[in-house]
Structure 1
Amino acid sequence: MSVLPDPGATRAVLIGTSRYDHLEQLPAVSNNLTALAAALAEPFSWGLPPEHCVTLSNPTTAEMTMSAVRAAAEQARDTVLIYFAGHGLVDPENDLYLAMPQSRQQRVETGLSYRWLRQALLNGRAERCVVVLDCCYSGLALGAMGGPVDLADQASVEGTFLLAAAAETRTALAPPGEPFTAFTGELLNALQVGIPHGPELLEFGALYRHMRINLAAKGRPAPQARDRNTGAQLALGRNPAYLPATGSDPPNGKNHALERSWPDPSDIRTVKGFFKALSDVRVTSGLTHQLVSQRSGGRVSASTVSRLLNRESLPRTWQTTAAYLSACGVSDAQVAEWQAAWMRLLAETAIEAAVQDAPRPSQGRSPTLIERLAGRLSRRNGRS
């Protein structure tokens, strides 16, 4: 089942090296980072808040980069995405390392070994990991690696989806006159324009197939992909080119609504994720605020729909949210699942609020029930 991650429990680290002391310059990489960070913040994509998406442009040390990667892998409970654009190099033992500004060929100590990044992801808390590598090789690197397919084999991480560019030359990576590298430009275009006749959600598996066809048609290296578990079903956003079937639905649209890819309330982990998924329900339904109001039979007005979707704290009563979901076409069974998610989040936020207001336990005193519950919740959420 396709799924968009909970933005409150998701982290992204975007790494790019555009300036080099000893290798070819890649100025388009800087544009990659800016555009991809903006895309991940959009409601049609993951809707990540700025603090959940770290951008590292021309990081000077591997330690700086790994610190950000480890923090993201530890904080994320839903999905963690690691993106790198720049030169991809190989050491004498055919291991991949990511080039930093002062990197040199065959000098792994001057770059970031992919083995370190991979281990950080394996040690993290995230349920899903996505690795996107927009790397190029020099001719020597290609000869040492024995073929571009090895890149994906080395970069595999259990429980992830890996999407890797196989660019072999500077021209293939950053076509003259284009603002982005070939690989990332194709990825951004798919997010903005969509995949004609594609699925409702831009799953990574569908993105890979679409990019492979388009890049090959342009005479550019085809990307590679590796999928572990259900990584291919994770979506990067909604498909702007998606056209639902028409002509067979009854006027009330109920049959069509049942076929839509509704957000799954069981995937919601945070309050921010609750409202992102609630907003996605309306987008999935294809209804405007006014049409939602009309289909609710007057139970919710268009302005009430707007206020509900722009809240930052959970509503204390359930009736308005239930009426909104039903009006969008969500089944009664799934509305009940939404209510269960709402009640769970209410309980968690109440515990957090109680802990913040409660005095610290004095030395030697046994913690209260609230304090014990809060400790369990904090450990589950990955907070100290």
Structure 2
Amino acid sequence: MRQSAPRFPDGATSQAVLIGCGDYTDIDLPAIPAVGANLADLRAALTDQTHGILPPEHCRVLADPADHRSVGAALAQAAREAEDLLLVYYAGHGLLDEGGLLHLALSSTDPGHVDFTGVPADLVKRYLGRARARLRVLVLDCCFSGRAVAAMTESGSLLSAQLDVGGTYTLTSTTATAPSHAPPGQRHTAFTAALLDALSHPEPLTLDAVHRHIDSVLQGRGLPRPQRRSVNAAGEIALVRGPVRPHAGPPTDGEGEIRFREPSSDPPTRRDTIKAVLLLTVIAAVMTLFGGWRVTLIWGGVAALILGPILLVNVRRRDVHYDLVVDGDGLRTEHGTRTAHVPWTDIECVGVLRRAPGTVLIANVLIVRLKADAPWPPGFHKRLNQRLPDRHYVIVGRLGTYGADPVRLRSAIERFAGGIYRTDQQLLEMDPRLR
């Protein structure tokens, strides 16, 4: 297919707003580590000194916005200032409300109240519709993003009429019913990686050619196909003037593992010494009061012999941390010279229970469900695991023991093991005996 000659927007009167959410406060929204690189590398491509179309000051980046205010302010300002091109990009979780409307998740979004805590995609499109820019481009890299295209093609849609006045292009990472993909361990999400690859093409590609390139890449990997909608020849514009090589940047984790360690405490020697002196002083005072100095010397010596080793062991124990390691091989715990390990090949699923089975006080425990033919891995806490219904489960330990943030832990597990993570509710639905 012959490509039409690309049209390059006037950077002096163009604006871009790049929005991305990779970290979330709700445990049911897994982190997407690749979002940060998506934003950085897309901005670098658009503002490249040689091949980009935008001055750096005309490209706003909103990384992990927590509320609607910052998003609305950036969109409103860009809509006012853009005369030639207005580009809006979002990467993160796409959530549907009860009516099936698409919302873009922010870092503080509650999936149970997405109507009030997410940004409606229709609201973003209304900002585009009010903009005076001649060309308007919306790029969505999130689940169900194809709904943004479907809503604009409905007959009689007021929103569609507003956007059809000028040139408008909508490009989404997936269909109206399919999830988007962020391969574990990769620098970019699947869609944005293909987008950046298209922007690094030897010849500048029009938006229609960019869509065809992304479609070919994703379809070849068996992923949902991207969607597009073009109005008034908007598909003939190009986002770069030539090949732009995305910055390689540092790897997501150079050591190939993610380690959680209990928070360091204050240096124990001074504090424990003060405790020991105070305790021995109290014992000596009581014994002197009731038994005289001879009794004090005898029992004081006995107390010192008993308490001394206990305090010494306590000091040494403070220097030995509890570590939880997530890597390509599996889950591993380390405490001094003692380690316990369970490989991913033996794991059916993994998740965090709000309360350990059969207990009241032991909260937020990391639990592993083993495959039916997997051996029980030695080295894990025996007394804690005695409360489990059978030997197909392993309680790795309390998250607090390792200072593990549940959101970051879920992200680490999904990075190395894919979609085996289960929420507390999902685990209990699978096996009510875990209550």
Q: Specify which of 80, 87, 99 is matched with residue 81 of structure 1.
A: 87
Give the match for residue 224 of structure 1: 227
Give distance in 2, aligned partners of 1:229 and 1:118.
Answer: 17
Query: What's the RMSD between the two structures over aligned residues?
Result: 2.1
Is structure 2 residue 55 aligned with structure 1 residue 49? yes
Give the match for residue 12 of structure 1: 16
Pairing 1:289-304 to 2, within 5 Å after superposition: none
TM-score, with length taken from structure 2: 0.49
Amino acid at match of 1:133: L
Give the match for residue 151 of structure 2: 154
Query: For the Cα contact (< 8 Å) 1:4–1:46, is it kept in 2?
Result: no
Give distance in 2, aligned partners of 1:151 and 1:215.
Answer: 19
Query: For the Cα contact (< 8 Å) 2:208–2:235, is it kept in 1?
Result: yes
Query: For the Cα contact (< 8 Å) 1:166–1:222, is it kept in 2?
Result: yes
In the superposition, relative to structure 1, how do residues 34 and 77 fare at CA in structure 2: closer, same or farther (>3 Å)? same
Give distance in 2, aligned partners of 1:176 and 1:83.
Answer: 22
Secondary structure of the residue that 2:239 maps to in structure 1?
strand
Give distance in 1, aligned partners of 2:205 and 2:49.
Answer: 14
In the superposition, relative to structure 1, how do residues 38 and 217 fare at CA in structure 2: closer, same or farther (>3 Å)? same
Is structure 2 residue 133 aligned with structure 1 residue 126? yes
Give the match for residue 199 of structure 2: 191
Structure 1 segments unaligned to the other structure (5+ residues): 138-147, 195-199, 242-384
Give the CA deviation at 1:127: 0.6
Secondary structure of the residue that 2:35 maps to in structure 1?
helix
Identity %: 38
Give distance in 1, aligned partners of 2:71 and 2:128.
Answer: 13
In the superposition, relative to structure 1, how do residues 113 and 150 fare at CA in structure 2: closer, same or farther (>3 Å)? closer
Give the CA deviation at 1:224: 0.5
Q: Please list every run of at least 4 consecutive aligned residues from structure 1 whose deviation after the TM superposition is greater than 4 angstroms.
A: 167-170
Pairing 1:24-35 to 2, within 5 Å after superposition: 24-35=30-41
Give the CA deviation at 1:239: 4.9
Give the CA deviation at 1:154: 2.5
Give distance in 2, aligned partners of 1:184 and 1:88.
Answer: 15
What do the CA deviations read for 1:192-214 (whole angstroms, capped 9, x no partner)?
A: 244xxxxx431000110111011
Give the match for residue 213 of structure 1: 216
Give distance in 1, aligned partners of 2:226 and 2:195.
Answer: 11
In the superposition, relative to structure 1, how do residues 149 and 49 fare at CA in structure 2: closer, same or farther (>3 Å)? closer
Query: For the Cα contact (< 8 Å) 1:70–1:120, is it kept in 2?
Result: yes
Give distance in 2, aligned partners of 1:117 and 1:67.
Answer: 12
Secondary structure of the residue that 2:240 maps to in structure 1?
strand
Give distance in 2, aligned partners of 1:79 and 1:166.
Answer: 24
Give the CA deviation at 1:169: 7.7
Query: For the Cα contact (< 8 Å) 1:45–1:236, is it kept in 2?
Result: no
Give the match for residue 235 of structure 1: 238
Amino acid at match of 2:71: T
Give the CA deviation at 1:149: 4.3
Q: Specify which of 101, 114, 121 is matched with residue 114 of structure 1.
A: 121
TM-score, with length taken from structure 1: 0.55
Give the CA deviation at 1:121: 1.4
In the superposition, relative to structure 1, how do residues 80 and 34 fare at CA in structure 2: closer, same or farther (>3 Å)? same
Query: For the Cα contact (< 8 Å) 1:5–1:46, is it kept in 2?
Result: no
Structure 2 segments unaligned to the other structure (5+ residues): 153-159, 245-435
Amino acid at match of 1:5: P
Give the CA deviation at 1:104: 2.4
Amino acid at match of 1:117: V
Q: How many residues align?
A: 225
In the superposition, relative to structure 1, how do residues 38 and 240 fare at CA in structure 2: closer, same or farther (>3 Å)? closer
Amino acid at match of 1:153: A
Amino acid at match of 2:173: A
Larger C-alpha radius of gyration, 1 or 2? 2
Give the match for residue 60 of structure 1: 66
Query: For the Cα contact (< 8 Å) 2:51–2:243, is it kept in 1?
Result: no
Amino acid at match of 2:192: T
Query: For the Cα contact (< 8 Å) 1:95–1:154, is it kept in 2?
Result: no
Give the CA deviation at 1:152: 1.6
Give the CA deviation at 1:165: 0.6
Query: For the Cα contact (< 8 Å) 1:215–1:222, is it kept in 2?
Result: yes
Give distance in 1, aligned partners of 2:40 and 2:208.
Answer: 24
Q: Specify which of 98, 101, 105 is matched with residue 107 of structure 2.
A: 101
Query: For the Cα contact (< 8 Å) 2:13–2:85, is it kept in 1?
Result: yes
Query: For the Cα contact (< 8 Å) 2:53–2:239, is it kept in 1?
Result: no
What do the CA deviations read for 1:206-240 (whole angstroms, capped 9, x no partner)?
A: 11011101110011221100111111011112454
Give the CA deviation at 1:177: 2.1
Give the CA deviation at 1:29: 0.4
